[in-house]
Structure 1
Amino acid sequence: MQRIGFVLVPGFQLMYLAAISVFEFANVSAGENVYQIDVLSEEGGAVRSSHGLTADTKAFEDPNFDTVIFGGGMQITESSSRMIDFARRASLASRRTASICTGAFVLAQAGLLDGKRATTHWLSARELQERYPKVKMEEDRIFIIDGDIWTSAGMSAGIDLALGMVEKDYGSELARSVAQKLVLYHRRAGGQSQHSELLKMDAKSDRIQSALDYARKNLKSALSVEELADAAHLSPRQFSRAFRSETGQSPAKAVEHLRLETARLMMEQSRHPIEYIAAETGFADRERMRRAFLRAFGQPPQAIRRSARAVDEGE
């Protein structure tokens, strides 16, 4: 049985605790206790979250865990010498050391991210890079594995990090079973972007949102303005005007962004041939998709796939 030490700090965000559920349900899916979870803090006892709820914790003692995960606080502050000492001792005694969201600041302050590829919540990535220039910050990743150091973005990305650990420890079948029990659509790959085009296109009306949903489900179609307008139950002229007003871009540009996002996810998370992905996402052929990738990401599809695999494999 593997011991997981989960470190909380005062003012932690409740969403961080969702990662614990991954290990809990790994035990359920495995039919035995493959993980033991200890919630830790510097002083032990009740630790107050940013919302005001508290979690009961054990004080730092023996750092001999299989995995130690540090969750940060809503406010970024300098960690105490005791916290930093525990992080350093845990990194030496444990098989892997990890952080969720701003927990990366603890690892960085302890020097554990020096020369390492790492990520954190995109809102805090620039600050971490400025404070700790030796860190090889990749601010747009869901999670990153560099040797025995794992770092993740904020909030729900901690779930992806924990699922990645379960997959590394016990295989993809158990990780999929846990994801199903948590009612997750799939485990996001570490190389996946923290940003979503659907989130950026914040449609205010149901009609424009319906058109976006239709586009996402029918990327193989031509998705002309007339087709999208029909999905929104508007005339093409009314639709174009409303779409630009609500999303800040034209329907054609929005469709290209959706095609790119979906194609990038397929490149990162599947082994489908490029020709297949191009056809499924409406690019028609691999050359047209390659040009679109170069415009949007500055890299061809093959480079995106190699980068995602390197992140997930900790290369």
Structure 2
Amino acid sequence: MARAIEMLAYPSVQLLDVTGPLQVFASANDHVAAAGGTPPYALRIVAQGGRGVTATAGLALVAEPLPPIGTAVDTLMIAGGEGVEAAAVDPVLVDWVRQRARQARRVASICTGAFLLAASGALDGRRAATHWRYCAELARRFPAVRVEPDPIFVRDGPVWSSAGVTAGIDLALALVEEDLGRNVALAVARYLVVFLKRPGGQAQFSATLSLQTAEDKFGALHEWINRHLADDISLPVLAGQAGMSERSFNRHYVAATGLTPGRAVERLRVEAARRLLSESRLPVKRISQRCGFGSEETMRRSFLRLLAATPQAYRARFSS
């Protein structure tokens, strides 16, 4: 029998949170059918009242009413979006999610859909991911949830959760791989022109991106820093590269990025080290030198401060 996959939507849901994962499953159906098999998934969007749901992009989605708790379901997926704030405090919807999650073989949230899943209690005592911007808020509101800010997606037993927006596609590909094997998941990824597993894997948020501003006054400087991580990147060097006095540079940089130059360089070095730890077998000592930390201990302190993990622990967890 086809696995019943329910995607829960609500007013002001994020369009790609809904359509991205569903397209993965639909493409898996097409691939299996083309090979002469029976499509493995039965897909439907469900919403309270079964009315049409308007997504944040302004497009209307046709949704079925919330299925009765007794009906069969394989996978319950909860999309994120601006409307999750109202959805997560709707007692009727939260109770439905609570009961439906207990019945489903597995449950998954996409992006900020984790807030609604957490409100149901399904994430209590479990590891979970959400959009990088809302990790701290999720942890604050739901202290029983072990929020992980770094992974693209997290699996904790039968409960899955993904990072922001397009990470729902990564999660759906992982579900297809679990159900149908790597070859089918790879075929779907190739058809959709996406990675089966993103290179560098789990890091969902780029330090370089976080330092960008609307004006991006220091974009060229950040590119220069990334090319010279192993060199001396002191304040005088950075000010000279930016063509400013040290005092003026420091003031303008903090105003533009919210970080001191030293903290920004540390983040860029940690990001580069994370990439090498997950993608290479270079010794930790070599990585610390290549990324400009100078010593393993200096890199260790930076990792603990920014990631709450040692370089060795990060590699053990995220190495490909």
Change (3 A) 1:119 1:236: closer
In structure 2, runs of 5+ residues without a counterpart are none
Structure-2 residue corresponding to 1:9 = 10
Matches within 5 A, 1:55-204: 55-61=61-67, 63-75=71-83, 76-77=85-86, 78-81=89-92, 83-184=93-194, 187-188=197-198, 192-202=202-212
In structure 1, runs of 5+ residues without a counterpart are 230-234
* Equivalent AA in structure 2 for residue 264 of structure 1: R
Sequence identity (%): 35
The answer as to 2:49 corresponding to 1:43 is yes
Judge conservation of contact 1:243–1:249 (CA < 8 Å) in 2.
no
Change (3 A) 1:166 1:223: farther
Structure-2 residue corresponding to 1:53 = 59
Structure-2 residue corresponding to 1:300 = 310
Judge conservation of contact 1:12–1:73 (CA < 8 Å) in 2.
yes
* Equivalent AA in structure 1 for residue 153 of structure 2: F
Secondary structure of 1:107's counterpart equals helix
Which of 9, 14, 21 aligns to 1:19? It is: 21
Structure-2 residue corresponding to 1:232 = none
Q: Alignment RMSD, CA only?
A: 4.0
Change (3 A) 1:132 1:298: closer
Deviation at 1:221, TM superposition (A): 6.6
Judge conservation of contact 1:191–1:307 (CA < 8 Å) in 2.
no
TM-score calculated relative to the size of structure 1: 0.74
Q: For the residues of structure 2 that align with 1:38 and 1:196, how far apart are their CA atoms?
A: 34
Change (3 A) 1:179 1:212: farther
Q: Count the aligned residue pairs.
A: 302
Deviation at 1:48, TM superposition (A): 1.3
Which of 272, 276, 287 aligns to 2:281? It is: 272
Q: For the residues of structure 2 that align with 1:150 and 1:238, how far apart are their CA atoms?
A: 48
Judge conservation of contact 1:192–1:308 (CA < 8 Å) in 2.
yes
